[in-house]
Chain A
Amino acid sequence: MRKSFRGGVHPNDQKLLSKHAKLRRFDPKGEMVFPLAQHIGKPAKAVVKKNDSVLVGQVIGEADGFVSANIISSCSGKVKAVEKRRIISGAMAECIVIENDGLFTTIENLGESTDTDSLSNDDILLKIQKAGIVGLGGAGFPTHVKLKPKDPAAIKYILANGAECEPYLTCNDQLMQTEAPAIIAGLELVLRLFPNAKGVVGIEDNKPEAIAAMKAAATGHDKIEIRALRTKYPQGGEHNLIQTVTGIDYPVAKLPADVGCVVDNVGTIFAIERAVAHNEPLFTHVLTVSGDAVKEPGNFIVRDGTCFEELIEACGGLKEGAVLKKVLSGGPMMGFAVGTLGVHVQKTTNGITMLAEDPAEDAARRMTACLHCGRCTTVCPAGLLPQLMAEAAEEKNWERYEKKLYGLECVACGSCTYICPAKRPLTQTFKQAKAEIQAIKRTAASGGAK
Chain B
Amino acid sequence: MNTALNLSSGPHVRDRWTTRFIMHVVCLSLLPAAAVGVAVYGLRALWIILVSVITAVGTEFLFDKLLHKPDTWKDGSAMVTGLMLALTLSPATPLYEPFLGSLFAILVVKCCFGGLGKNFINPALAGRCFLLISFSNSMTKYSLVDGVTTATPVEELANGNPVNITEMFLGLSNGVIGSSILALLAGGLVLWALDIIHGQICFSVIGAFTLFMALFGGQGFDPHFLAAHLCGGGVILGAFFMATDYVTSPVTRLGQTVYGILIGVLGAAFRIFGSAADSFSYSIIIANLFVPLIDTYIVSKPYAFRKKAIQLQSGEETKPFFKRIPKPVIALTAIALLAGVALSGVYSMTKETIDDQNRKKAWAAYQAVVPQAVSFEEIPEASEKSDDVYGSDFGRTYLNEAVVGKDASGATAGYAISVTCAEAYDGNLTLSVGISPDGAVNSIAFTELHETPGKGSLCDDPKFKDQFNGRSVSSFRLLKDGGSTKEDEIDGVSGATISSKAVINAVNAALDFYQNSIRGE
- Residue positions of A touching B, CB distance < 8 A: 6, 9, 11-12, 90, 167, 239, 243, 246-252, 254, 258-260, 309, 317-318, 324-328, 332-342, 353, 355, 358-364, 366, 368-375, 377-378, 382-385, 387-388, 404-406, 409, 412, 414, 417-423, 425, 427-428, 431
Contact = CB atoms under 8 A, between A and B. Distances in A.
Nearest to B308: A249
A427 B10 contact: yes
B251 A258 contact: no
B13 A373 contact: no
Given A421-B19, A422-B19, A371 B11 contact: no
A358 B12 contact: yes
Contact of B312 (A248, A325, A421): A248
B304 A409 contact: yes
A372 B13 contact: no
Nearest to A422: B19
A250 B309 contact: yes
Most chain A CB within 10 A, of B10, B12, B14, B304, is at: B12
Given A368-B19, A422-B18, 18 more contacts: A11-B13, A248-B312, A249-B302, A249-B313, A251-B305, A332-B11, A335-B10, A335-B12, A337-B6, A366-B18, A371-B19, A372-B246, A377-B251, A382-B304, A383-B301, A417-B14, A423-B14, A423-B19
B302 A406 contact: yes
Contacts of B302: 249, 251, 382-384, 406, 409
A373 B22 contact: yes
B189 to A, nearest CB: 18
Contacts of B295: 388
A393 to B, nearest CB: 14
B252 interface: yes
Nearest to A246: B312
Given A248-B309, A383-B301, A360 B19 contact: no
11 contacts: A358-B6, A361-B6, A368-B116, A369-B114, A375-B17, A382-B303, A383-B301, A388-B295, A406-B301, A417-B11, A418-B13
B306 interface: yes
Contacts of A383: 300-304, 306
Contact of A369 (B1, B5, B116): B116
A258 B313 contact: yes
A167 B247 CA distance: 32
Contacts of A254: 313
A333 B15 CA distance: 12
Interface in B425-465: none
B13 to A, nearest CB: 4
A213 to B, nearest CB: 28
A341 B4 CA distance: 11
Contacts of A243: 303
Contacts of A339: 5, 7
B72 interface: yes
B118 interface: yes
Contacts of A334: 10-11
A166 B420 CA distance: 74
A216 B305 CA distance: 39
Interface in B189-243: 195-196, 198
Contact of B5 (A12, A324, A406): A324
Contact of B11 (A368, A375, A405, A414): A414
Nearest to B72: A368
A128 to B, nearest CB: 28
A48 B302 CA distance: 48
Most chain A beta carbons < 10 A, residue from B11, B118, B306? B11
B304 A250 contact: yes
B466 interface: no
**Residue from the set B22, B72, B118, B309 with the largest chain A CB neighbour count within 10 Å:** B309
B273 interface: no
B489 interface: no
B246 A374 contact: yes
A364 B14 CA distance: 11
Nearest to A353: B12
A336 B246 CA distance: 32
A419 B13 CA distance: 9
Which of B6, B13, B17 has the most chain A CB atoms inside 10 A of its CB? B13
B13 A12 contact: yes
A167 B13 contact: yes
B6 A362 contact: no
A373 B300 CA distance: 17
Nearest to A359: B14
Contacts of A369: 72, 114-118
Contact of A421 (B2, B21, B313): B21
A28 to B, nearest CB: 17
Interface centre among A251, A325, A406, A421 (most CB of B within 10 A): A421
Contact of B195 (A327, A360, A378, A409): A378
Contact of A338 (B1, B5, B14): B5
B409 interface: no
A332 B309 contact: no
- Interface size class on chain B is 35 or more
Contacts of B305: 251, 406
A342 B11 contact: no
A371 B17 contact: no
A410 B285 CA distance: 34
Contacts of B22: 371, 373, 421
Interface in B1-49: 1-2, 5-15, 17-19, 21-22
Given A324-B1, A406-B305, A421 B10 contact: no
A22 B262 CA distance: 60
Nearest to B302: A383
Interface in B302-331: 302-306, 309, 312-313, 315
Contacts of A332: 10-13
A326 B11 CA distance: 12
* A-B interface, 8 closest residue pairs, ranked by CB to CB distance from nearest: A414-B11, A383-B303, A369-B117, A428-B9, A249-B303, A332-B12, A249-B309, A249-B304
Contacts of A418: 11, 13-15
B299 interface: yes
Contacts of B299: 385, 388, 404-405
A12 B196 CA distance: 20
Contacts of A338: 5, 7
B84 to A, nearest CB: 16
Nearest to A387: B251
Contacts of A340: 2, 5
Contacts of B115: 369
B93 interface: no
Contacts of B5: 324-327, 337-340
B64 interface: no
B156 to A, nearest CB: 38
Contacts of B247: 371-372
Contacts of B246: 371-374
B329 to A, nearest CB: 24
B500 interface: no
A359 B16 CA distance: 10
Contact of A388 (B6, B19, B251): B251
Nearest to B2: A341
Contacts of A6: 303
B75 interface: yes
Contacts of B174: none
Contacts of A309: 1-2
A341 B6 CA distance: 12
B508 interface: no
Given A339-B5, A388-B251, A421-B18, A360 B11 contact: yes
Given A167-B13, A421-B17, A422-B19, A361 B8 contact: yes
B117 A372 contact: yes
B249 interface: yes
A333 B10 CA distance: 6
Contacts of A325: 5-6
A332 B75 CA distance: 27
Contacts of B21: 421
